[in-house]
Amino acid sequence: MYYAYKYRLKPSDAHREELDRHRDICRQLYNHTLYRLNEYQDEYGELPSMTTLRSELPDLKKWWDGLSDVYSKVLQTVVERLFDNLKGLSALKENGYAVGQLKWKPPREFRSFTYSQSGFKLDKKGGQAVLSLSKLADIPIRLHRAIPDDAELKQVTVKKEPTGEWFATFGVEMDHEPPEPPENPERCVGIDVGILKYAHDTDGTAVGSLDLSAERERLEREQRSLSRKEHGSNNYEKQRRRVAECHADLRRKRRDFLHKLSNYYAREYDFVAVEDLNVKGMLESPSNSRNTASAAWRTFLSLLEYKCDREGTHFVAVNPRGTTKECAACGVSTEKPLWVREHSCPACGFEADRDANAAWNILSRGLQDVGVGHSEETPVETALPVDTSVSAKRVVESGSPTLKERTASAVSE
């Protein structure tokens, strides 16, 4: 399998200057390659191949002095980056999106360059871990976690964040394959995501949303201060970095929460069913789009999917339509506004928390989608444990043996 390991670099002022110089040369090469691509298309009526443009690099070095200061593999990955962007545009166009053309990259939008296959090495010099980059420098690196011994380093991407910090992301390939998902999963769970309660599952565990109100208030204060600074001045640049640090703080805390929550479900269960949400469409809605964006449901589902694949856990994304309205006991749909947080079925009398009822519907659909047998009997108790909310900083399993037994019996039949 292929993994990414990200570490913080600790460059000196001289290292920072050299890193910025290499980054800017790569940016100028990207823009030049885009110019040559358009020129070739106008002349021959078709797009050139990636090999055609890469073969021009030796000739470019004859009159472009700075190009020889950058490692050759890095220059090749810049050309590959342009064609990867073209493939991305083509994929969007095939899906019906209106796309334009690739544009030249200004300095603020080109923040990284990549060493592929060779030209980099993790080393130790003077008792300190360093990242040796060919034709650049030996840059101290903070290895906060070890890379496995059986891992093979395929590439490293060096990136400058808006805060001015530099990071190195290693592409690592492992020899071992992930375990196969069990044919008869015993520990199954359905997860309903929301705003008030971020996740509510069929075991009765309710996870509260991460409270980032203090961080947002700080960000708004810093943004107001930035708007009063003269654009381009030293004070403007200092304040811009403070705003970038606020954004980075929000992003780190949110991703830390999502990593821990997704890791919990991927490791504790054999079968995970979630909603296949159209988050993009929800963000276009005029109501509550800010909270929807802050929840980062699509990020959570993406993290959960790859971690389930890594741990050998079944992952199923089901159609979310009607999961809140349908009764988990009898299947009768009941209209209820968003402010009604309890489900009460007029047909069978089943009552439960609204999110718990949706979670059971999600699990039932997930089991059907993968062809796992399910019980014809009611899969839920007449009173689900809905008071097991936990802090967003600590995910705790509430434990409901009756619910687990019912899920296991539904799978085994």
Is 192 designated active site? yes
As a whole number of angstroms, the distance between CA 207 and CA 223 comes to 31
318-350: buried (b, 16+ CB within 10 Å) or exposed (e) per residue? bebeebbbbbbbeeeeeeeeeeeeebebeeeeb
Q: What is the dihedral of CA 40, 69, 80, 88, to 10 degrees?
A: -90
Interhelix angle 234-268/213-227, nearest 10 degrees = 160
At position 224, the amino acid (one-letter code) is R
Is 215 designated active site? no
Strands 271-275 and 188-193: parallel
Of 18, 192, 222, 311, the catalytic one is 192
Is 405 designated active site? no
Of 203, 270, 311, 355, the catalytic one is 355
Q: Please count the other Cβ atoms lying within 10 Å of the Cβ belonging to residue 226.
A: 17
Q: What is the dihedral of CA 114, 297, 277, 307, to 10 degrees?
A: 60
Of 18, 275, 311, 353, the catalytic one is 275
Q: Which of 367, 275, 290 is nearest to 321 (CA)?
A: 275
Instruction: Report yes or no: 133 and 120 within 8 Å, Cβ to Cβ.
Output: yes
Residues that are catalytic: 192, 275, 355
